[in-house]
A = this chain, B = another copy of it.
Amino acid sequence: MRPVESSGNGIDVTENVEERRATAPVVKLCPHNTGISCSNCRLNDLCLPIALNEGEMQQLDDIVERNRPYKKGEHLYRQHDRFKSIYAVRSGSFKSYVLSSSGAGRVTGFYLPGEIIGMDGIADRIHANSAIAMEHSSICEIPFNQLESLSLKLPILQHNFFSIMGAEITKVQKVHTILSSYSAEQRIVSFLLGISSRYARVGLSPSRFHLPMTRGDIGEYLGLTVETVSRLLTALQKKEYIEVDNREISLLNLAALREIVGADDI
């Protein structure tokens, strides 16, 4: 009944990554591996190094720190920590969240492979969020001061980083629109379509994927309760727009889903 093995043990995720890879060339490397470098990273054409030549990429490579993998539940940084680095997700996934004084945390973002996390600390050198691994994950740490220095020497790198920050602004603004004007159903669908295209970006299937986050996380992120998230996933399944098997999601009727959010979404 379960079509794809769940990622419980933190290793099979890696296998899924290769297994579900769609179009991009497959490089046979464990993505958690620390022996990797930017030039042989399968994500280098959608990360900081885009369009850098070999020599430039080498210079970037020299400042990147590839730490040990993070276990599920480990923090990358915590709210109010001094900001030191930004991080590129190499494998696995993270969520960022804030704790309100009233106790309850609110999820502010999800970060999938090829995405940059930590930019919430750039402005005032203090992280505004906490970031935690949702599964066994690995990252490339890029010390920000060194990135700034290198960006002065490599115009393309500076340009790329401006673009990455700009994309983050656009992405968060999009969420603003979703939260301020979409119904619960539209939020969920928009979320699923967003995850889908983010997986597609790194060569994974856009129509069949594993959600690394809980229903509760999704609810916090979208401003809904767990119950509403659960009910709506069930309802969408009943309509045969999606298939839900715990955290495995299949998008069965893309056209209908796009219709729900109104075509200008994602």
Interface residues of A (CB under 8 A from B): 98, 100-102, 104, 106, 108-109, 119-124, 128-129, 148, 151-152, 155, 158-159, 161-170, 172-177, 179-181, 220-223, 262-264
Contacts and interface: CB of A to CB of B under 8 A. Distances in A.
B159 A162 contact: no
B221 A122 contact: no
**Stoichiometry, copies per complex:** 2
Contacts of A263: 101
B120 A173 contact: yes
Contacts of A163: 122-123
The DSSP consensus for interface residues of chain A is: helix
5 contacts: A100-B264, A104-B181, A109-B173, A162-B165, A176-B179
Contacts of A166: 119-124, 165
Contacts of A100: 177, 181, 262, 264
Contacts of A264: 100-101
A109 B170 CA distance: 12
A151 to B, nearest CB: 7
A122 B180 contact: no
A119 B158 contact: no
A168 B163 CA distance: 14
Contact of A172 (B102, B121, B148, B176): B176
A262 B176 contact: no
Contacts of A221: 180
Contacts of A106: 177, 180-181
Contacts of A174: 128
B162 A122 contact: yes
Given A106-B177, A177-B108, A263-B101, A158 B168 contact: no
Contact of A158 (B121, B123, B148, B177): B148
Contacts of A176: 108, 172, 175-176, 179
B122 A223 contact: no
Contacts of A104: 181
Contacts of A179: 176, 179-180, 223
A119 B170 CA distance: 8
A182 to B, nearest CB: 9
A94 to B, nearest CB: 15
